[in-house]
Structure 1
Amino acid sequence: MSSSTALATANFKSKEKSLFTQMLNFYDNKQFKQSLRNADQILEKHPDHPETLAMKALNMNSLKRKIEAFEFIKKALFKNLSNFTCWHVYGILHRSNKNPDEARKAYLNALKYDKDNQNVLRDLGQLQIQLRDYEGYAETRRQILVSKPTVNINWMAYACHKCERALEVLESFDKTLKENKEKLKNHERTEITLFKAKLFEEMGDYQKAINLLQKKGLIVDQISKFRKLAENYQKLGNKDKALEHLEDLLELSSANTNNYYQILAVHGYSNKEFKYSSEDQLKIKEIIEVYENRFPRGNSHQRVLLKILTGELFREKLYQYSKPYLIKGVPPLIVDLKDVYQDKEKTQILEETLLSHLKSMEEKNTLFNDEQEQDPTVYLWLLYYTAQHYYYLRDYNQALKYINEAINHTPTVIDLYVVKAKIYKRAGDREYASKLYEEARKLDLADRYLNAVSSRYLIRADHVEEAEETMGQFSKEGQELNVHDMQCMWYENEVGLSYLRQGNYRLALKNFNYIEKHMEQVFEDQLDFHLYAMRKYTLNAYFQMLEMEDNIYKNKNAVRAAIGIIKTMKKVDKIREEEQKKFQPEFDSYKASTEYIKMCEELKKRDEDDEFKNDFDPKGYDLYQKALQDPIKVAYDFAVLVASCNPEVKEVQAKMIPIYLRKNKLLEALKAVIALTERHPTYEKTLSSRIRFSQHWNSLTEEQRKQAIPDEKLLKVASQEFEALGASDEQSLKNLSEELLNQNLDKIEHVHEYIKTRTVLFKENDTAKYEKVAIDALTNDLRRNFKVHNAANTLKRLTKIGASDVQYRQKAQEVFIHARHFD
């Protein structure tokens, strides 16, 4: 805007020119109200001045008067369609309203009338990379570079291109620096060199990457240098050089276990499952022990061996590794050994080791196979570790036995109450678990971690208000709990799930919706980093950021929120008419309340641009009103983004299939069924999802299928894929359901899904049979302690279909003695 001020004010008198300049300065300093007053003064004498109308629109947009802002910019464009400033502002308004495609069109129109305008080109480039329009971005940055080749940032931005072209650009940049006798700072040169090496590596030219990395004075980040050299030498098959650089890397970073795994890979030991023969284990032990002697103060090498060794070799290494931690009483020891629980033999050895130490401490006050007398606290920590061990095994009775003994021994150790709370949580008593964690928290009121986890336990026990009060103890004095502003997604998910359990679908949806907004905000926020990364020369980190942003919906919180929204909206859809009648009076009452009117008045006075602090719908009434009109659409809009990014997440795919079918998205539903069949054939919902899809497909006429999949080729392929799934007629699907049940009679989750499939999809109601197979599963499932919630869901299902659940409930109470689901 400032570069065209003279032209824009050519017909102005000196006073109006001064007002126009002040208006621009006020806007740059974010004094939008003052800038707007100046615009109004100018427009009194020049009501059709396009640049002033455009500035007025910008100010109104900044003051959240968005509708008026668009009215003024359209008025300005109507007065002068060839004014590039108006088109530029029109693009800015669309960008701020999260409409990037319209913004791009506006910027391109602006360039028709001023093709070399740097501000427009820069904004267009940022928008193109935001939309991942790499070809368009490259052309825009080329135009900027041609007009200003002496600005280094322009070279960096243009280098964000395909490998060969990027290397050419960076070579030209180096020549420009030499011609201008300009030197880069050390970290800037390091970033560019590592980026060039990465490009050579992607092109498969490993020797050129090595040659570049070995040049003196180019790289100050020695860890990255040695790692890249080792990787490239390994790809070339030069083991000696790869090992040499890996050992250089260990000198700088001996605590990184990945370095040891890479050393083993160079030696030819790269089994992803870490399963080796006894002979190979001995060789690996010899290799790693060399580094144990060189770096005796670290423990990463020992952890690598614990992952690989088995049998007596593992027992020996476990004793050596754990002994110092047992003596010092290091709480995370068992957590550090979590990988051990993936192997039954190792788990048994760990148990034997702990029990041997306990017995020895009880009898002689020494550790097993050791004559040195130990402090009584060693016995305390052994009880703690043993309780944790049985907790991981889901042997809750044994875990409680040892943790209670530990508490009786020393009742003031916080970690003991934390473990006891975890045991009760997993055993199915969330209420008592929350009380225990509160007890732990009160032993150290200054601990933020204990505060946060105690809040989580309270939420899981459905004490949301108490949890909010607990979390609020670490908010700034005089401020409300600002978890939404801080994007505290675990809290929002937990609160959403709690409200869902309580049947408060309005607040459940509101909390899940916060996470949807966070995902959008995180993606939008990258807009500020496109040029920042270029200025800082951090090209490697920049491309990592782009990759992260492209996979933003893989975030576990997004996945949990999507599942939560689907569950909530499916429940709402079932009772929509009843819910609408109940909700409307509640909605009208809230909108007319003094609380709501006062809140709106206060929010309108605020100048800060924060959608969470300025939320006009904090209790979710407006959102829920919209959801009640079409709950399935609300579920689909967010969940489809998550599902498309997570084909490997079985629960999301299974829950999306009914949504796809309701939205007549046959192709997407078929893809989800295929993903489940191929990736998760043993998942309990895979067959039921296939049955649901088959029933829907068979119920459609050929014409209806064509409407769902208009492309004839796609429809033909879909039909072939459907046939490839196998039997699809009703009787064959029933037979498959029976076969799967017979294969999984000892699995609680499979029996629950079988009952649901037979009653919901096949409309059968053999309640006596369902109760029998459910009780048999409770009796025979050896992993039942992992499945308390599955058992509780089975009880709900039996009750729902009208089965006599008395025997099942009694059996569940016998099996899950600590759970409260069956009271």
Structure 2
Amino acid sequence: MAQQQQLSHKDAALFRQIVRHFENKQYKKGKFRLKAAEQVLRKNPNHADTQAMKALIISNQGQQKEAFALAKTALNNNMKSHVCWHVYGLLYRAEKNFDESIKAYKFALRLDPESAPIQRDLAHLQIQMRDFQGYIQSRRNMLQQKPVFRQNWTALAVAHHLAGNLEDAENVLTTYEDTLKQKPTRADMEHWEAILYKNYIIAESGDYEKALEHLDAVGKKSPDVLGVMEMRADYLLKLGRKADAADAYAALLDRNPDDSAYYDRLISAKGFAAGDEAAMKEIYKIWSTKFPRSDVPQRRPLDFLSGDAFRDAADSYLQRMLRKGVPSTFANIKHLYLDRSKLEIIQDLVERYLKEDVQPQMNGSAESSPDDEASRFHCSALYFLAQHHNFHMSRDLSKALKYIDEALQIDQKSVDFHQTKARTLKYLGAIPEAMEIVEKARSLDERDRAINTKCAKYQLRNDQNEKALDTMSKFTRNETAGGPLGDLHDMQCIWYLTEDGQSYLRQRRLGLALKRFHAAFNVFDIWQEDQFDFHNFSLRKGMIRAYIDMLRWEDRLRDHPFYTKVAVSAVSAYILLHDSPDLVHGPIPNGVNGVGQDAQANAAERKKAVKKAKKEQQKLEKVEADKKEALRTSKSAAKATDGEVQKDDPDPFGKALVETKEPLQDAMKFLTPLLDLNPGSINAQCVGFEVYIRRRKYLLALKCLLALHAIDPQNPTLHVQSYNLRKILNDANGASSKLAQIISTEGKTLLPEDNKLVEWNNNFLNHHRSSTSHIQAGLRVRALIGKEAKATNEKDLLEALLLDTTSMEEASTGLELLNEWGSSKEVKERYRSSAAERWSRASIFQAKQIETQ
């Protein structure tokens, strides 16, 4: 190992300046720092610390391989340099290799135990990884080094709190308070936030009496008045001091009469008997009289009233809202539809308003005329009924279309009316027509971001990806690198990435689909990494309670519905890629599989489809290359916010993603967190089974099957997957005999017996005669068993289409089954025409649409 070179006074000063710029995050001076490092290295080529800092600089410029190589050289030059090991840890952290990063930090600390930056970075990485015991030790060391800083005491309390040591956390905060010689002023936000945080810890331990006593002692001086009032009211209610709790919640309602949670807790504090409608109605009457402009005290009685009392209250509320023309009236009351009688009363009331032409009362304003108010009331009633008949619990789309058309005749420039008509057409299956209507709504108010977003969403649902991007570009910074799509990535517009990916998945353009899904996945990674910024910031600013809430939210980040949607779609794409490897070349129509009665003809057709897909892909790649070349020659090259030119996307079509050799292994990146954090999702368990069964992980597949059975024992997909697992167990080349025996034992309640497959499936079909989705599942299994002729299955599938309970989505699934079975064009046309007769406006059953599938 070479000895560390000694720098001259001038070079040492330059080196310190490099370090200072980095510690202050002055990244705009990256070029200066790089030149300064190179200047030092020209005179001292083997100076390890400067080499390490240069490695860190070029790492921030995206040169990761070069950075690691230079960092290793620096370590070889001086293995006992804490700077080199610290930098090595930072490089591993940038690569998300947190275990190696922690090892490097700890080695650096052995060399320099007093280094505050190394200790801080280690602590931040430990809390990021939820290594609470390690975090406690690091924070204890930092406190011993600098006990005068309050944030070191608070950080140690946070460490104990997150580790579950509530008593230790409280003692740490108490110890610091005892060391204070002067009482902090009311303006000392950090102190009072720490005081309330201590109270938060006491309450979390379950000792509400002690928490209340502490809050009464310190709460009057806290600047967070609302927080103290809410905590005190909550403690009183939990301690059973209902009279005091009622007064506390009454005080809170005086501050905010629109918080529905306050009313719930006030009623709980009053101790009314269950179903005491009169008493609860009186409570809301008092507050509605006191705050006549507040919506909640007038709306909430509708939740518990029934019969004539409900009719009177609903009549009053609906007339009040419809007279004002409040667009959210239906959204405010739609959850009442869980009670069928309330649904019928509301429908009857609004229909009566239209029949009787109820005239609204005048408000005394000289500027409003009866005709204007009557027209507004009439339009509001029509709009309400259109939404009412659009809702899934009261759906009658022909009536919904009738009412919204009447409303549009009165007000042809209403964005809300056009949007509701588009939604009705969407439910009718007329996606292209719905897209045109919502595009018209967007043109009525081009400054409205909400309707612009809705328009783009409808365009994506119609697989008009370029058009949707053009629509979104009206509200994006199009001068940035990557144009509108690049800005949508920067803004983490996850709904767009998801919808765009699902559109490409429907089109079987798997490269672009996976590109979008990975981009959405990376957004969740960014949200998780963003915690790093708050580990120091929150403690420095003293916002501890919000910091704790943020950490707990991050722990369940990937149980968010958006992640479930992204992950299920991505895993489905990988399964499709595994089953149909030719899709790597581009979209190939369904049913072109190279097998069937005329395998040679089908194979030729598939070869032709693959060739066509390759040509289309090459054409798209050429267009994209031309765009890049035009951008390079343009003088207005896009710049990043720090002045550095952003890199072009080297793989705009996701070619590298779709050319993977192990699609199922890649799918695990999405599937593992999905199953860990959202095991109650039916779709998650279904795709999990499909991945594991293909990877020959039969016990894990059984685990998914059992979880699905626990969620929904009558799920139709469960029936198909149960058969698939049994089929594999019966296959001589499937699971080993020992494994098969274990699976049969554990899954005996689910898996059919070997010699009773036909009987088991027939029983399933007989038990679910009125459910189209279950019939389709049974027919799929029957086709797999192969005991019945294909014509019989096709006939039964067509009969299921004619059931009154069949939905448009189930009818669409029937078409997919016919493609799966390799049915003839005549059978498909007969099925399509029957579906088109029933859903005449549905674009999916149009002849042109079928021809392209």
TM over 0.5: yes
- Is the 1:765–1:801 Cα contact (8 Å) retained in structure 2? no
Does residue 435 (structure 1) correspond to residue 446 (structure 2)? The answer is no
SS at match of 1:211: helix
| Aligned-pair CA distance for 1:729 | 2.0
Deviations 1:705-734 (A, max 9, x none): 8799xxxxxx97x775334x3554244455
Q: Which residue of 1 aligns with 2:178?
A: 175
Structure 2: distance between partners of 1:330 and 1:800: 49
Structure 2: distance between partners of 1:326 and 1:422: 21
Among residues 731, 747, 752, which one is paired with 1:722 in the alignment? 747
Q: Which residue of 2 aligns with 1:574?
A: 579
- Is the 2:514–2:658 Cα contact (8 Å) retained in structure 1? no
Does residue 661 (structure 1) correspond to residue 719 (structure 2)? The answer is no
Structure 2: distance between partners of 1:81 and 1:619: 42
Structure 2: distance between partners of 1:64 and 1:516: 21
Equivalenced residue count is 789
- Is the 1:9–1:17 Cα contact (8 Å) retained in structure 2? no
Deviations 1:172-228 (A, max 9, x none): 12123x236655735434422332222122211110111122224343333322322
Does residue 749 (structure 1) correspond to residue 744 (structure 2)? The answer is no
Q: Which residue of 2 aligns with 1:76?
A: 74
Does residue 390 (structure 1) correspond to residue 413 (structure 2)? The answer is no
Q: Which residue of 1 aligns with 2:550?
A: 545
The CA RMSD measured in Å over matched residues stands at 3.2
Structure 2: distance between partners of 1:347 and 1:497: 35
- Aligned pairs for 1:362-511 within 5 A: 365=359, 375-392=374-391, 393-476=394-477, 478-479=479-480, 480-481=483-484, 482-511=487-516
Structure 1 residues 262 and 428, CA, compared in 2 at 3 Å: closer, same or farther? same
| Aligned-pair CA distance for 1:156 | 1.5
| Aligned-pair CA distance for 1:401 | 1.0
Deviations 1:623-663 (A, max 9, x none): 33543x12222222212212221111111111111102223
Q: Which residue of 2 aligns with 1:4?
A: none
Structure 1: distance between partners of 2:471 and 2:103: 49
Structure 2: distance between partners of 1:104 and 1:448: 45
Does residue 652 (structure 1) correspond to residue 684 (structure 2)? The answer is yes
What TM-score does the superposition give when structure 2 sets the normalisation length?
A: 0.86
| Aligned-pair CA distance for 1:314 | 1.9
Structure 1: distance between partners of 2:360 and 2:294: 25
Q: Which residue of 2 aligns with 1:758?
A: 782
Structure 1 residues 471 and 238, CA, compared in 2 at 3 Å: closer, same or farther? same
Structure 1: distance between partners of 2:573 and 2:130: 33
Q: What amino acid is aligned across from residue 176 of structure 2 in structure 1?
A: F
Q: Which residue of 2 aligns with 1:317?
A: 313
Q: Which residue of 2 aligns with 1:194?
A: 196
Does residue 223 (structure 1) correspond to residue 226 (structure 2)? The answer is yes
Structure 1 residues 578 and 131, CA, compared in 2 at 3 Å: closer, same or farther? closer
Gaps of 5+ in 2: 362-369, 586-609, 847-853
- Is the 2:418–2:437 Cα contact (8 Å) retained in structure 1? yes
Q: What amino acid is aligned across from residue 331 of structure 1 in structure 2?
A: P
Deviations 1:460-503 (A, max 9, x none): 11111111111111223644211111010111111111111222
Q: Which residue of 2 aligns with 1:331?
A: 327
Deviations 1:550-603 (A, max 9, x none): 111112221111121122222222221563586889679959956567879999
Among residues 834, 837, 848, which one is paired with 1:811 in the alignment? 834
Q: Which residue of 2 aligns with 1:32?
A: 30
Does residue 790 (structure 1) correspond to residue 810 (structure 2)? The answer is yes
Structure 1 residues 234 and 741, CA, compared in 2 at 3 Å: closer, same or farther? farther
Deviations 1:746-778 (A, max 9, x none): 223223333333334x34554444445444444
- Is the 1:54–1:85 Cα contact (8 Å) retained in structure 2? yes
Structure 2: distance between partners of 1:691 and 1:184: 69
Structure 1 residues 165 and 778, CA, compared in 2 at 3 Å: closer, same or farther? same
Q: Which residue of 2 aligns with 1:13?
A: 8
Deviations 1:438-461 (A, max 9, x none): 111111111111111111111111
| Aligned-pair CA distance for 1:514 | 0.7
Structure 1 residues 694 and 414, CA, compared in 2 at 3 Å: closer, same or farther? same
Structure 2: distance between partners of 1:67 and 1:820: 52
Among residues 763, 773, 791, which one is paired with 1:739 in the alignment? 763
Structure 2: distance between partners of 1:764 and 1:266: 66
Structure 1 residues 763 and 33, CA, compared in 2 at 3 Å: closer, same or farther? farther
SS at match of 1:445: coil
Question: Which moves more between the two structures, 257-266 or 690-699?
Answer: 690-699
- Is the 2:89–2:104 Cα contact (8 Å) retained in structure 1? yes
- Is the 1:484–1:612 Cα contact (8 Å) retained in structure 2? no
- Aligned pairs for 1:45-84 within 5 A: 45-84=43-82
Structure 1 residues 300 and 418, CA, compared in 2 at 3 Å: closer, same or farther? same
Structure 2: distance between partners of 1:707 and 1:109: 46
Structure 2: distance between partners of 1:484 and 1:613: 13
Among residues 146, 149, 154, which one is paired with 2:147 in the alignment? 149
Structure 2: distance between partners of 1:104 and 1:407: 64
Q: What amino acid is aligned across from residue 656 of structure 2 in structure 1?
A: L
| Aligned-pair CA distance for 1:813 | 2.2
Structure 1 residues 461 and 645, CA, compared in 2 at 3 Å: closer, same or farther? same
What TM-score does the superposition give when structure 1 sets the normalisation length?
A: 0.89
Q: What amino acid is aligned across from residue 75 of structure 2 in structure 1?
A: L
Structure 2: distance between partners of 1:702 and 1:656: 19
Q: What amino acid is aligned across from residue 379 of structure 1 in structure 2?
A: H
- Is the 1:515–1:557 Cα contact (8 Å) retained in structure 2? no
Q: Which residue of 1 aligns with 2:590?
A: none
| Aligned-pair CA distance for 1:45 | 2.8
Q: Which residue of 1 aligns with 2:166?
A: 163
Structure 1: distance between partners of 2:768 and 2:116: 67
Gaps of 5+ in 1: 1-7, 271-275, 709-714
Among residues 258, 278, 282, which one is paired with 1:255 in the alignment? 258
Q: Which residue of 1 aligns with 2:850?
A: none
Structure 2: distance between partners of 1:611 and 1:630: 36
SS at match of 2:488: coil
Structure 2: distance between partners of 1:612 and 1:730: 65
SS at match of 2:522: helix
Q: Which residue of 2 aligns with 1:305?
A: 301
- Is the 2:497–2:519 Cα contact (8 Å) retained in structure 1? yes
| Aligned-pair CA distance for 1:611 | 13
Structure 1 residues 552 and 626, CA, compared in 2 at 3 Å: closer, same or farther? farther
Q: Which residue of 1 aligns with 2:599?
A: none
Structure 1 residues 323 and 577, CA, compared in 2 at 3 Å: closer, same or farther? closer
- Is the 1:246–1:259 Cα contact (8 Å) retained in structure 2? yes
Identity %: 30
